[in-house]
Amino acid sequence: MFSLSAWHLWLLSALVLGALETVISGYVLLWFALGAAAAALCALLGLPFSFQVAAFAAVSLLLTAASRTLFRQFLSRTSRKITHGAESFVGTRAVVTVAIPHSGFGEVRMNGELWAAYSSEGEIRVDEHVIVDGVDGLKLSVKRTH
């Protein structure tokens, strides 16, 4: 009969964790699979169980910590900050539907909706194109597109 030794169990753990990583995304189980593989190598070399567990923990935790730093630095450096709610309006183009006086409110159409707006640059005439540069409650601060 076939008897399982410690390195078999560690290797089986590594394979199961690696297989689960393909089903559950997030690159978390992968690092624990590699930690189990390191522990299997330690067991194969005849190192004590306490050293195997230490190798598993060290490799898993170090790879998890390193991956978060690496992913943040290299994979998300070109991604834009996700905006939502009113802050997502900033940078959006609009068309003036009611003239905006120097110190008062007019109206703009943005994404098919009418919004009260004031100018950060002075008077803006009807049908001029503007860009939203801020949001103050339900009023948009706009400036001309140059």
Q: How confident is the model at residue 25 (pLDDT cuts 50, 70, 90)?
A: confident
pLDDT of residue 97: 94
Would you say the pTM of this structure is higher than 0.85?
A: no
Q: How confident is the model at residue 27 (pLDDT cuts 50, 70, 90)?
A: confident
The whole-chain average pLDDT of the chain stands at 87
Which residues is 131 bridged to in the sheet? 93, 143
Over residues 83-118, the pLDDT tens digits come to 667 778 888 999 999 999 988 899 999 988 999 999
What superfamily in CATH does domain 85-144 come from? Answer: Nucleic acid-binding proteins (2.40.50.140)
Coil, strand or helix: which one is 124?
strand
Helices (H), 1-141: 6-23, 29-44, 49-70
- Taking the domains of the chain in order of start, what are their residue ranges? 6-75, 85-144
11/43 Cα distance (integer angstroms): 10
Q: Which of 32, 133, 141 has the alpha carbon at shortest distance from 24? A: 32
More confident of the two residues 1 and 7: 7
Structure-token pair, residue 53: 């567990």
Q: Which amino acid is at 61?
A: L
pLDDT of residue 13: 94
Strands 113-119 and 139-144: parallel
